[in-house]
Structures are given as structure tokens and as C-alpha cells.
Chains A and B, each alone.
Chain A
């Protein structure tokens, strides 16, 4: 009986991969191998980080999952179906925010819905809800140039949330904002995960950030980008978000990952 349950749970876990990456190679031009033989599963409801130094192909992998780039060989499946391009179950958050400077916060946040042909009143109502959820209430009718970097990225996040995708693909979303804003943003992301039941894939080069946020960290090694190691931080994130940064497990894991990555930098 006990054995059976255990097996069931295992099977459950095995089938619960929302995204499967199978044998993905990516070669740029003729010679530059960005990714080599990547096999990965991303589990439903988890936040997974892709961590590695620049040049390890982490953004390339994220864009392949998003359907913005085609792999040279191999395939990506989302909910069991092969990816041929972008899909409604995936939403992208861009490193440089990718906001339209001529559009207000609400129109930017509603733009994903606008492209899907959702009626104006409905899409704006949904966008307003998410603009509020990311903490930008009162800024609905401002233009991007009137916002700070952190606020602009919140608009990018609201846009991705508004289309109600299962998976949020975030490409170094905090790298273009200052340290204070980044910390606040990370805390808000933890809180957001309690409200929104979504799968997150986060590309980052910050060890602290990946340990702080992730259920699972996938470490890639550079040139060519290969799978190096998978780390599963077991950090309790239910309490005060500040306490996590003093949690010994958090600090040890950062050290451990740094020891592993150091070789690629030296």
C-alpha cells in the first residue's frame, strides 16, 4: 500500500512536467554552439531558474522555449505538444521591458490581450486588475517615460500576467533595475506566487537571486552551453521575506553554487 502510493506520487511528478526540453542543440552561424544536448523538465507550479555566466546560452534556451528561436535540433514540448512558435500558454517578460513608449501603462499591460482581439472594455478591465496587483495602482494613465525602471518592469509583468498564460518566461527581469528596487521586486514576486498559480522560468546571472526565488536551479556551463548541475533549494519562503536572506541554508547554498561556478570565471 505504502509502496503503491510512493510509486503513484513518483508517476505524478514525472507526468507533471509542463515543459519538456528534449535534446536541444542550438548552433549560431556554422560554428558557435550556444546550446549542446539540453534535456530538461520544468514542473508545473514551480519557479525554476536558469543560472550561469554570460555566454552560457540561458537566454537562448528561454527564447527557444518561448518559440521566438528555433532550435537547430531537438524539440520542446509544452503540455505534451511540440512547440512550433509562441503560444497562448506562455508569456514573456523582457530584460529591457519592451514597452511601447507611445502607449499608457494600461494599454501596454493590455497589449497581449489587444493582439488576441479581446474587446477594449474587457481587456482594459483585466489590465487594470493586474496593474494594481503588481503595485502600480494610480499609474494607469502614465506613459513609460514617466516611470522608473522598476515600475516599467512591473508593467511588463502585468502584461504577461494579463494574458493568463500558464508559464511566465522571465529573461533577466531585474537586471536593468537598481539593487533596492530589485530586492523589493523579488519579495513581491514571492508574494505574487502565492496568489497566482503559475509556472515561472527565470533567467538570471545572480546566484543570490536564483537561490532566493527558486524551487529549482538549473546551472548551465558556458561555451558550449551545457547542463551542469541541478540544485533544489529547500527554503521556507512563507514567513518574512527578509528572514530568508539570513537563513543559513540560503547562505550556504549561495557559497556552494559560487564554488561550483568559480571555475568558469577564472
Chain B
């Protein structure tokens, strides 16, 4: 990708050349943007505009102490359980239903309206309802993750399959490919970029789901760290917990992108 940008930069004006350079050295610029963000945070914290707002270094120190005494690792142990179970369920049902809806009209008519409703509805409003039915245990939290993650995964998988170029499907048909060859060798690889975009969004939604559940149902894991430290006014610890879950979500989603490229998109490797 970056080499393409550089090429187009060579024939264009100076501005796009500058952009091409940014594209050519992505890591450095990303680090610079991160450094600016941290510096702004540090300065904002030092101005004392809000007594509950810690500086960047205070937050990092709190993060380190929570990592060192094991409380954060314990918390992630609790949080990961509903998150991982919920994501595995959402991925298998979401991708499965999405692909089926893309391939078959009857599946589309039956299933699509459900996912569209689920995606449009504000799911946080339904969390009290889940608690009402399933109590405050693991089931309720897993359901919260699924409700947020599954619709976006299913709908993107469905659209991805529908957007496969018809000539590729004709091609596999004209060379006598069977239906299963058509699905596994042509349609799924061709749909994978859009499908993975949906999966990344779904995983990000899953993180929101688990944090919402831990804040709204019962405080456990990372949600407990946030609520507890807020209640005893240890704001640097509270911010550290929030920071850690954001960083964790970003890393998880980026790793997923890597995984996609290694599995499905050999032509984008090394780009």
C-alpha cells in the first residue's frame, strides 16, 4: 500500500508528496502523534483544571503499581472470560449467519430483519432487561457482549458476500467449479476484506459490551477497578484502568488486522 502512495506522490504536487512521505514512514508519525497526545494530557493534568484529572505520568505510575501488585492482571482474568466467550459466539454465529444470508435469499428474508433491528437498537438500554432475565452472572455478561458484537459482524459479512464481483462467480462457474469450490475458493476470499472490517468493528463493540456489563450489571474485573477506584477517589488508578482497556482494545483490533493479511491477503503482505 505505502509503495503505491509513494508512486502517486512522485507525479503529484508538493502537498501530496508530503503526505506520501507520511505514508512512507508510518511508524514514526504514529509515534509522534501518540507523543503529542501524551504531552497534551500531561500539560492538561498539570494545569489542575479538574481536581479529579491526573497527569499522564501519575496515571502511568498507577498503571505500573496495579500491574506490579497483580490486581490488574486478576481483573483482566475476570473480564476476559465473558469477553472471549461472547466474541467466539458472536464470530461463529455472526459470520455464519452473515455468509448464509449473502448466499441464500430465504436466509436473508428470515434473518436479516433481526440483525438490522439489533444493530439499530441502543443495546445498553436492554442490559437491565438481560439482568432481569438472566441475573448477574456470567450468562448476562456474555449476552451483553454478543448483543453488541454480533449484529455488526453479521451485517458486514452479509454485505461482503453480496459485494463479491459477479464476474468472479461467473468465472468459477464457467470453469466448472462446484458450489463449495465457488464459496470457499472464490466468494469467501473475495469477501474477506469487508468481512474483516466488520469483525474488527464487532470486536471493538464487544469490548464496549463487556465494560458496559461490568459497569451496569455487577462490578467485576476491569469494571470493578474503574468503579472501586472512583469510589475511593484514587483517580489516577481509575484513569489507568480506563487507559489499559482502551490500549488493550486497540492492540486486539490491530492484531486482528495482521491476522487477516497473513491468512487471506498474501498480495498485501510486506506492504
Where the two chains meet, the residues of A that have a C-beta atom closer than 8 Å to any C-beta of B are: 63, 66-68, 85-88, 90-92, 94-96, 98, 100-102, 111-112, 114-116, 143-145, 159, 163
Contact = CB atoms under 8 A, between A and B. Distances in A.
- 10 nearest CB pairs, A to B: A143-B267, A112-B175, A98-B171, A92-B174, A115-B177, A98-B167, A86-B174, A115-B175, A94-B167, A96-B167
B167 A68 contact: no
A94 B165 CA distance: 12
A105 to B, nearest CB: 11
Contacts of B186: 100
Interface of B: 165, 167-168, 170-178, 181, 185-186, 189-190, 264-267
Nearest to B172: A115
Most B Cβ at <10 Å: residue of A101, A114, A144: A101
A145 B165 contact: no
Report whether over half of chain A's contact residues are helix, strand or loop; otherwise say mixed: loop
Contact of A68 (B165, B174, B178, B267): B174
Contact of A116 (B176, B189, B190, B267): B176
Given A98-B167, A102-B267, A114 B185 contact: yes
Given A115-B185, A143-B267, A100 B173 contact: no
Contact of A102 (B165, B176, B266): B266
Contacts of A101: 190, 267
Most B Cβ at <10 Å: residue of A102, A112, A114: A102
Given A96-B167, A98-B171, 14 more contacts: A67-B174, A68-B170, A68-B173, A85-B173, A91-B174, A92-B175, A94-B170, A101-B190, A101-B267, A102-B190, A102-B267, A112-B175, A112-B176, A115-B172
B174 A102 contact: no
Nearest to B168: A98
A143 B171 CA distance: 18
A115 B181 contact: yes
A87 B167 contact: no
A96 B171 CA distance: 11
A102 B189 contact: yes
A115 B170 CA distance: 13
Contacts of A63: 170
Contacts of B165: 96, 98
A87 B168 CA distance: 17
Contacts of A91: 174-175
A94 B171 contact: yes
